[in-house]
Structures are given as structure tokens and as C-alpha cells.
């Protein structure tokens, strides 16, 4: 027995078996037993950690050092980033919805793209707004538009959500200023301009194939309704007039502009002065706070809503957030457990020995890391670190280096599943069961990954 445990904890095959068994048990508990995902993730994460050799002290801490435990750090890492953003984004969406602002924007997009082109409009919106903002922030800000589109169109929520999610995902993985491609570009000493160019060349076809083609196909086959607790009210402000499209664009676009200003100000401006101001207001929590206050004034108070009505609206919109946060935190904890047990390192080490061409190895290693531990950014950075010595010594051109970065980025988004916090955000925000999320979102990410890599491999032949 001791020998089996040692093999399970230290041998590559044993670690992969442990990870596979944990994921299988998790899916069984959620799909078959119908155990609440938060409880299933927490329980299976603890079992996998103990079976993988994580000590009790490291897992749950001690009376004097509980804050250093894997359990608390796993939850805190993601929740420290998303809790404030989810709350503010939810309130912003509620104000946009109650005022009629979301419907005004959607109406303008529908007039531009046509009623049948509304899913395409959502995809374009996700792609454009996904460039300056993180994936999860984009979801929280744009979700109200998806809900309104689904209610108006009478079709499955997936028809409108998946194109938007594909746009957010491809920009998060392929394009600066997002951390993954920026970090890989730094490791390989490639200019960001080339990364942007190749990211667009590979990302646009991948977005269209996954979000528009696959999203349209699967959206006809899985009927998902807008969750009732996300529709916080349909009453208009007392004056009964829809808000100006320019006010709506200001409220939605302001946080995007502030975040973008902070990102590029940090790169282009010297320390202090304007750069400090841009960094402050470009912090996502600050940017969204400004946007929420502005929305409450322009779309609420100035249009006849009282402070009490705004308070009640905010409280109603925040009621579903608690379970979302618990599931997201538990998903991050499960991913942290897989990393702590050494599964990620085992996968990377075994894949690095396959002797494939570097651009193919980049995709394969990144894919393995993504599937093993769930984080796209971790997969990109880890793969870049593994391959950097060989790549820097290889005499590659700038376009070739950029395409290798895109290959890594493509692998980093493949097969999002239960160890990815984003999987649970999407499942809870868009009213999906685990089976529906696997059948729609997981496949979308895989299509996005494979088409992006295929484009990178094709373009690589010309440079």
C-alpha cells in the first residue's frame, strides 16, 4: 500500500491517474448525485490534496498560520480579484437594465446588424470590449445585454452568450495588454506589435468558427432561459423615456476607457504624475465604482429614481452573487490543489520530451498544462518558461516568435472544464447545468483553441 501511495504521489503516471480520478469523481457527484457544485468541488479538492501528499498543515493551516493554507489561498486568489468586480458589475448591469439603457444599446446594434444578426452583434461587442478588459469583467458588464437579447429574441440564451464569450476569450488569450501574451512576448523577446498582428490574424477566424458557427449550431440544440433571479425588474424610470444612446455608451465605455488608460499609461508614461492618476482610475474596481456612481446619477437619479429605489435595485441584483462566488472560489481551490500535487509539472515535463517542432510543442505543452490545472495565464507563462531557452537560441524571426506565442495562447484555452474558475462563472451566470456547460462552453473553447493553432501553424509556413 505504501508503495502504491508513493507511486501515486511522485510518478507522472500516478499523478495523472490521481487528477483523472478526482475529475471523474467530481463530475459523478455533480451530474449523477446532483450534489451542489460548491460542496462537491470543496470535498473532492480536499480528497485529491490528501491523496496527492499535501500535508494537513499545508492544506488547512494551523491555529497560528491558517492564512497560509492551500484552502484559504485557493479561495482568496480568485475571490480577491473577482468579488468586488462581480458585485459592481452586477449593480451596473441592474441599473442599465432598469433604466432601459441595455435595451437602447441592443436596439441600436440590432438596427445595424439586423434582427437575425443579433448574435453577431454580441460577438463583435465581446471582441472589441474584450481587448482592454479582463475576461471576467467583460462578462459582468455585458451579461445584461445578453439577457435582454435572449428575452427579446425568444431564443436560447446560448445563441447570444456564446458569440460574446468567444470574443472575450480570444482577446484575453491572444492579444496584449492581457497578461498571458504579454508575459510570453517578454520571455521570447518579441515585439508586442507582432503579437497583436498575429493575434488578430489567428484570433478573428477562431472567434468566428467558435462563437458564430459553433455558437449558432449548439444554441439551436440546447434551450436555456434567462435565469429569473438575474432579471431584477423591468420598470422604467418615472419619466418613461428611454435614455440617450450616448449616455448608455458613456456608462458602459467609461470603465473600459479607464482600464485601458491605466494599462497603457503604465507602459508609455514615466513614473508619477499622470501615470499614477491613470493607474488609480484604471484599477478595475475603481473604474467600475466610477461607472456605477455615474450610472446611478445619469440613468437613475436624473431620470426620476429615488435613492431608496436605487438601494433596493442594488440589493435585489446582488442576491444571486453569493452562490456564484462560492462556486468560483471552490473551482479555483480545486485547480490550486492540482497544481500543488505536482500534476502540472508532471504534464509539462512529459510533454516537453516528445521531440516535436517548437511551435507544435508550444501548443501541446500549453494544452496539457491548461487541462491539468485550469488557468490560461499559468499555462502560457509556464510553457514560455519551459521553451524560452530553446526559442531564444533558435534564431527565429519576429513573426515566427509571435506565432509561437499565439500557439501557446491557443493551447492555454483548450477544454475549459471543472478546474477552471471561468467554467463556473459561465455556468452560474448563464443558467447552465454542468452537462450543458461542457457541451457548449467547453467545446467552444476547444474549437477556438484548435482553429487558432491551425491558423498559427499555417501562417508559420510563410515566415
Residue with cell 467554467: 423
Per-residue confidence band for 237, with pLDDT thresholds at 50, 70 and 90 = very low
pLDDT score for 168? 93
Of 197-206, 218-227, 294-303, 325-334, the one with minimum mean pLDDT is 325-334
Instruction: Report which DSSP code applies to 225.
Output: P
Alpha-carbon distance of 446 to 210, in angstroms, equals 8
Residue-wise DSSP of 20-44: HHHHHHHHIIIIIS---HHHHHHHH
- Nearest residue to 159 via CA among 228, 230, 222: 222
Q: 290 and 254 in contact (C-beta within 8 Å)?
A: yes
Strand residues in 357-444 grouped as ranges (E): none
Residue-wise DSSP of 62-73: -SS-GGGSHHHH
Q: Residue 212, SS3?
A: helix
Handedness of CA 53, 9, 33, 40 (dihedral sign): positive
**Cβ within 8 Å of residue 48, ≥6 positions away:** 18, 19, 22, 334, 337, 338, 341
pLDDT digits (tens, 9 = 90+) for 132-185: 667 877 787 788 888 888 888 889 999 999 999 999 999 989 987 677 888 888
For residue 225, CA distances in Å to 229, 273, 428 come to: 11, 49, 12
Instruction: Report which DSSP code applies to 205.
Output: H
What is the number of alpha carbons within 13 Å of residue 71 lying toward its C-beta?
Answer: 20
Residue-wise DSSP of 274-308: HHHHHHHHHSHHHHHHHHHHHHIIIIIGGGT--HH
pLDDT digits (tens, 9 = 90+) for 333-378: 877 787 788 776 776 666 667 777 889 989 998 998 888 878 787 7
pLDDT digits (tens, 9 = 90+) for 396-452: 999 999 999 999 999 999 999 988 888 988 998 899 999 999 999 999 999 999 999
Alpha-carbon distance of 149 to 102, in angstroms, equals 9
**Average per-residue pLDDT in the chain?**
84
pLDDT score for 48? 87
pLDDT score for 170? 94
pLDDT score for 348? 66
Of 46-60, 78-92, 95-109, 345-359, the one with minimum mean pLDDT is 345-359
- Nearest residue to 405 via CA among 191, 138, 120, 228: 191
Q: What end-to-end distance do the CA atoms of the chain give, in Å? A: 55
- Nearest residue to 136 via CA among 411, 389, 421, 394: 421
Q: Kindly report the number of other CB atoms within 10 A of residue 355's CB atom.
A: 6
**Cβ within 8 Å of residue 378, ≥6 positions away:** 339, 344, 369
Of 44-58, 162-176, 222-236, the one with minimum mean pLDDT is 222-236
Alpha-carbon distance of 173 to 405, in angstroms, equals 10
More confident residue, 103 or 461: 461
Q: 431 and 225 in contact (C-beta within 8 Å)?
A: yes
Amino acid at each position: 500500500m505504501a508503495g502504491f501511495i508513493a507511486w501515486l504521489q511522485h510518478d507522472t503516471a500516478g499523478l495523472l491517474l490521481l487528477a483523472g480520478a478526482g475529475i471523474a469523481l467530481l463530475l459523478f457527484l455533480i451530474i449523477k448525485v446532483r450534489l451542489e457544485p460548491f460542496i462537491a468541488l470543496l470535498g473532492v479538492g480536499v480528497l485529491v490534496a490528501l491523496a496527492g501528499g499535501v500535508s494537513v498543515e499545508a492544506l488547512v493551516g494551523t491555529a497560528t498560520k491558517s492564512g497560509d493554507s492551500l484552502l484559504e489561498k485557493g479561495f482568496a486568489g480568485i475571490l480577491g480579484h473577482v468579488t468586488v468586480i462581480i458585485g459592481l458589475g452586477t449593480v451596473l448591469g441592474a441599473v442599465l437594465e432598469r433604466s432601459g439603457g441595455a435595451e437602447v444599446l441592443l436596439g441600436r446594434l440590432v438596427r445595424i446588424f439586423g434582427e437575425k444578426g443579433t448574435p453577431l452583434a454580441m460577438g463583435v461587442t465581446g471582441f472589441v470590449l474584450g481587448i482592454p478588459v479582463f475576461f471576467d469583467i467583460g462578462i459582468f458588464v455585458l451579461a445584461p445585454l445578453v439577457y435582454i437579447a435572449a428575452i427579446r429574441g425568444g431564443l436560447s440564451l446560448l445563441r447570444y452568450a456564446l458569440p460574446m464569450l468567444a470574443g472575450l476569450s480570444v482577446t484575453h488569450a491572444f492579444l496584449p495588454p492581457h497578461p498571458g501574451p504579454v508575459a510570453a512576448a517578454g520571455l521570447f523577446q518579441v515585439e508586442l506589435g507582432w503579437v497583436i498582428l498575429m493575434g488578430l490574424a489567428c484570433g478573428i477566424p477562431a472567434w468566428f468558427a467558435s462563437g458564430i458557427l459553433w455558437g449558432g449550431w449548439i444554441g439551436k440544440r440546447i434551450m436555456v432561459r434567462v435565469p429569473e433571479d438575474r432579471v431584477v425588474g423591468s420598470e422604467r424610470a418615472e419619466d418613461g423615456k428611454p435614455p440617450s444612446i450616448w449616455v448608455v455608451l458613456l456608462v458602459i465605455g467609461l470603465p473600459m476607457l479607464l482600464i485601458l488608460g491605466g494599462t497603457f499609461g503604465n507602459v508609455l508614461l514615466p513614473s508619477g504624475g499622470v501615470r499614477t492618476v491613470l493607474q488609480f482610475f484604471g484599477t478595475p474596481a475603481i473604474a467600475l465604482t466610477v461607472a456605477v456612481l455615474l450610472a446611478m446619477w445619469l440613468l437613475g437619479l436624473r431620470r426620476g429614481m429615488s435613492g431608496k429605489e436605487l438601494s433596493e435595485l442594488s440589493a435585489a441584483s446582488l442576491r444571486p452573487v453569493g452562490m456564484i462566488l462560492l462556486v468560483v472560489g471552490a473551482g479555483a481551490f480545486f485547480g490550486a490543489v492540482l497544481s500543488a500535487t505536482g500534476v502540472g509539472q508532471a504534464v509539462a515535463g512529459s510533454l516537453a520530451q516528445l521531440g516535436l517542432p517548437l511551435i507544435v510543442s508550444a501548443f501541446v505543452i500549453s494544452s496539457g498544462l491548461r487541462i491539468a490545472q485550469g488557468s490560461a495565464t499559468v499555462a502560457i507563462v509556464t510553457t514560455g518558461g519551459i521553451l524560452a531557452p530553446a526559442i531564444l537560441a533558435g534564431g527565429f524571426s519576429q513573426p515566427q516568435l509571435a506565432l509561437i506565442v499565439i500557439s501557446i495562447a491557443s493551447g492555454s484555452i483548450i477544454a475549459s472544464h471543472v478546474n477552471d474558475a471561468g467554467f463556473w462563472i459561465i455556468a452560474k451566470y448563464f443558467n447552465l447545468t454542468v452537462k450543458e456547460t461542457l457541451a457548449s462552453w467547453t467545446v467552444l473553447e476547444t474549437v477556438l483553441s484548435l482553429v487558432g493553432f491551425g491558423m498559427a501553424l499555417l501562417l508559420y509556413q510563410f515566415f
